[in-house]
Amino acid sequence: DTGVSQNPRHKITKRGQNVTFRCDPISEHNRLYWYRQTLGQGPEFLTYFQNEAQLEKSRLLSDRFSAERPKGSFSTLEIQRTEQGDSAMYLCASSPRVHEGDEQFFGPGTRLTVL
Amino acid sequence: DQQVKQNSPSLSVQEGRISILNCDYTNSMFDYFLWYKKYPAEGPTFLISISSIKDKNEDGRFTVFLNKSAKHLSLHIVPSQPGDSAVYFCVALKDEKLTFGTGTRLTIIP
């Protein structure tokens, strides 16, 4: 296990379709985070998990977004009824959270394009 | 509102010279500040961090300085190398949430 992996790397969809992304964190990292990055901006926090529990959701995460981490390992992020404004890079990160300030390890991201 | 600001979108530095990247923040409650580096088609990777109770942290060629009264931090890279060319994000941490700046694209000129 060499790092955080995300699938797919690219997704093109039509407006109104549902999409699902997967994130596999580094083994034994109990924290998993989702961020979204739009053009010209830094990543923005969406939500995070401690094991299977979703502990916080940003106001950026509308009702069309849902994230799960059913067994405390991989996570999925689903967007229902996609809109053009959902086009962005979706980044996943994981952390062991042994010490406060432990770094978060990022995956390569899934680039979503909504036509 | 942008809580972490990087006012220089780009910076070019001669190889071997010092690169200084600057960052300002507005929220005095942040616990840690971090710098992440990002290459194209890759996720951000951690570079160096500093606790809000410290004013300097050094790791090899990288040094981060924190001025709490000015709500300002900077990253110094010396000497700069071609492999340092990337986008650098200034990041603040509070309650496990990272808040990113907009990034500075650093180009090292051989």
**Cross-chain Cβ contact B31/A100 below 8 Å:** yes
Query: How many angstroms away from the CA of B16 is the closest CA of chain A?
Result: 28
**Cross-chain Cβ contact B97/A101 below 8 Å:** no
What pLDDT digit, counting tens, does each position of B42-89 carry?
999 999 999 999 999 999 999 999 999 999 999 999 999 999 999 999
What pLDDT digit, counting tens, does each position of B43-55 carry?
999 999 999 999 9
Number of residues that this document lists for chain A: 115
Q: Which of chain A's residues have a Cβ under 8 Å away from the Cβ of B4?
A: 42
**Cross-chain Cβ contact A103/B102 below 8 Å:** no
| % of chain B beyond a pLDDT of 70 | 100
Confidence check: pLDDT of A98 > 90: no
What pLDDT digit, counting tens, does each position of A50-70 carry?
999 999 888 888 899 999 999
Confidence check: pLDDT of B100 > 70: yes
Q: What are the distances in angstroms from CA A40 to CA A18, A58, B7, B60, B89?
A: 25, 20, 13, 30, 12
Q: What DSSP state is assigned to residue A84?
A: G
Which has the closest alpha carbon to A60: A23, A30, A32, A85?
Answer: A85
Q: Which residue has the tokens 């995070």?
A: A48
What is the model's pLDDT at position A59? 84
Q: Does A21 touch chain B (CB under 8 A)?
A: no
> Can you tell me the mean pLDDT for A14-30?
95
Chain A: residue whose CA lies nearest to B103: A42
